[in-house]
Structure 1
Amino acid sequence: MRRAQAIAAFAMTAALALAGCSAKRPEVELSQAPGATGTPAPTQTVTVTEIDTRTVTATTTVVRTATVTATPTVTVTALPRPSLTTSTVFDRAAALADYATLVNDVRVLDRMSLAGNAAALQLDLLAAHLARLGANGAPPGLDAPSYYGRIVSLGLFARAASDEAAASSPVAESRYAVIRQETAVLLSLVNGALATTFTLPTTVPRATTTTP
């Protein structure tokens, strides 16, 4: 019994002591007390990534060297068809002789160097033979304006080639190639009209001149 009373008295004394303390000091929350310790705030780590984007433009220049070899060219201009004001009687015998002369002219020119006075003279002879052929009448069955137009064109080319050969121009050989080709066409037309067999000789290697 006395033990219980002692415990009760101690509890009362402690309660009064606590009450006295509360009356003298204001109440302070633990959260506001300076120097309070608790659970530390979590640490957040922020990672900043910088992306460096650079555009590089490279220009490459490719230089190509081309070798161009210049070759002489001949421009062929067709002459207008001549209008005939007079008619010439076709002399077959004279014409046949002139056609044979054309074939021989080509044979000689094929074997010559087309540079120098000798070639120029031979081309002048070809032009003269063509002019003589043009003074004759057209073969029966051939269109006269077309026939004379071919002969006149060949004569003009022969004279031009003669001047070029005299000057040792490389164009003379190119022009003569056209003359030879068109002479073959003329003879084929004549063969059809006169039942003849005029043909140009087979081409042979051309002689060349060398300058020491």
Structure 2
Amino acid sequence: MSAAISPSPHRPYGVQRVCRIWALPRSTFYQVRRPANAAPAKPRGPKPPVYDISLLAAIRDDLAASPFSGEGHRKVWARLHYGLGLPVGRNRVLRLMCDNQLLSPFRPPLSPANDHDGTILTEAPDVMWGTDATLVQTAEEGRVWVFAAIDHFNSEIVGHHVSTDGSRFSALEPISRDCREIGGVMLGRL
């Protein structure tokens, strides 16, 4: 297809355009065209002064000599590069340590797991409340915040508070006011 001639400009389509339209990498295009009995491609660039096998042995020796239980690739690289004078790159040390499971163990975060099931409905009223707010434009006061305390059992508004500032203290005002009112009623029932 890449050698086919385009009808309007009378030029070939080209490999780049055909691969872009077919969403195919050009390397795959050339790999398919390569003869089956051809020798495998050699890595480009100069050969590294330290081969992977000897570098891996040096990494293992460095980790064994370390007094710590787990070391990261940067410290290992620094000791190999500056301490032993091995001309090796940090990313290469990282690759070798990762491939051979020599990196320090994964440390999970210390925060507890989120056990929330996604529902906020309760079995009875006055068990769980939440607040919500909206910004309202008034003619006399300008912009004011209206905070509402909502019961999660039946979505009833149990209290409200209007404030000119939308601070967290204003958001908790309907909750604290209703706790005092309902708490007094509940104490009177006991």
Between 1 and 2, higher relative CO (CA 8 Å, sep ≥ 6) is seen in 1
When normalised by structure 1's length, the TM-score is 0.19
Q: Which structure shows the bigger proportion of residues in helix conformation? A: 1
TM (normalized to structure 2)? 0.20
Which protein is bigger by CA-based radius of gyration? 1
